[in-house]
Amino acid sequence: MQKPDNISKAKAPGREGKVPEMARQLRVPSLDPHFFILEEDRKNLERFAQMSGRHPVNILITGNQGCGKSTLVRQFACIHNRPMATFQVGLLLESGQLFGQQRLKEGETYYHEFLFPRAIQTPGCVVHLEEINRSESPHALNELFSVLSEDRSIWVDELGFVEVAPGVIFFATMNEGEQFTGTDALDAALKDRFYRIHLEYLPQAVEREVLERKTGLDTNTANQVLTLVNKIRENRELAISVSIRHSLMIAELVSHGASLREALVYSLQISRDTLESLLLSIHVATAQTETDRGAYSLYVP
Ligand SMILES: Nc1ncnc2c1ncn2[C@@H]1O[C@H](COP(=O)(O)OP(=O)(O)OP(=O)(O)O)[C@@H](O)[C@H]1O
Ligand SMILES: [Mg+2]
């Protein structure tokens, strides 16, 4: 198995003078000791890590809002001791914006290089592209094609050839609702360059453990929270999506002494009437309706 233990200390070639600044920004993220993923996803992430030692690997993580996409990328970087940098692709307006910009200092213009070129030139770096499908302008994605494709290099007038360093892994994340349509050539070309991991909401037993571990709730109370949360999730008329982030928010309020009712009112956009009928129905036994996707295990080193 690949052991890029030195990668976090690696320097981008030819940019030694800027390393202290880079080192501050390109950090190995810290571990979330309570993060669970599907066993199958964990195994395949190991494979991707191994493969990245031999050739470039791009991974697209899809899933609903707040289902753990960003945390998974950080967790991967931490477990493999790789530096990581995140870029909000959704905010890009035009091409060139990732690499740097002309600035003015004492009447002179100079080119200020951004973190992106440094990150992709750092061996083993995990480069996280957030909301890759949300870019304001398709032109802004043009430069990404070059670095994500086989040749892995791009010409930038101000920087020359920028080559992706060995072992760099690109993770792109996007919310499920806004999938690549496949009708747009640009979208299809991007999609074509990625392996894909799709994250689902956790089964109740696993999510309960997450709530217990992260908020200190006891098993019974965590179950109460989740029974209610799952009722809201299942109710299509309500059209409220309750993410894991949200169930954690609710559980945390409860663990700080709030009643279930309060926690819901303060965490969700839900009318009083709806809430009352939901609270009534919590006493009715619910059938588990989860489809079994296999075993979940802790994703820690
Ligand atoms: N599988 C999981 N195990 C433990 N905690 C989780 C899990 N999935 C999500 N969480 C927690 O839920 C919260 C939201 O996760 P995260 O920010 O990674 O979601 P996301 O999918 O990136 O959200 P968004 O769509 O808003 O970008 C975090 O606090 C995270 O730790
Ligand atoms: Mg995210």
Q: Contact at 8 Å (CB) between 97 and 124?
A: no
| Mean pLDDT, residues 112-136 taken together | 89
Give the mutation target among 245, 267, 298 for probing the ligand 1 site: most ligand atoms within 8 A of CB.
245
Which positions ≥6 away from 183 have C-beta within 8 Å?
A: none
273: Cα separation from own chain's centroid: 35
Predicted confidence at residue 186, as pLDDT, reads 53
Residues within 6 Å of ligand 1 by CB = 32, 34-37, 63, 65-71, 175, 202, 210, 244-245, 248
> For 226-255, what is each residue's pLDDT tens digit?
998 998 888 888 778 899 999 999 999 999
What b-and-e string marks burial along 203-212, b requiring 16 or more CB atoms within 10 Å of the CB?
A: bbebbbbbbb
pLDDT, one tens digit per residue, over 247-261 is 999 999 999 999 888
Coil, strand or helix at 58:
strand
**What confidence tier does 269 reach under pLDDT thresholds 50, 70, 90?**
confident
Ligand 2 is an ion; its neighbours by CB within 5 Å are 69-70
Residues 143-162 have pLDDT tens digits of 788 888 888 888 888 999 99
Q: Which of 38, 71, 197, 299 to mutate to test the pocket of ligand 1 (most atoms within 8 A of CB)?
A: 71
pLDDT at 12 (0 to 100): 39
Mode of pairing for the β-strands spanning 100-105 and 153-156: unpaired
Q: Is the pTM of this model over 0.85?
A: no
Structure tokens given for 214? 């992260």
Residue 297: predicted pLDDT: 85
The model's confidence at residue 190, banded by pLDDT at 50, 70 and 90, is: confident
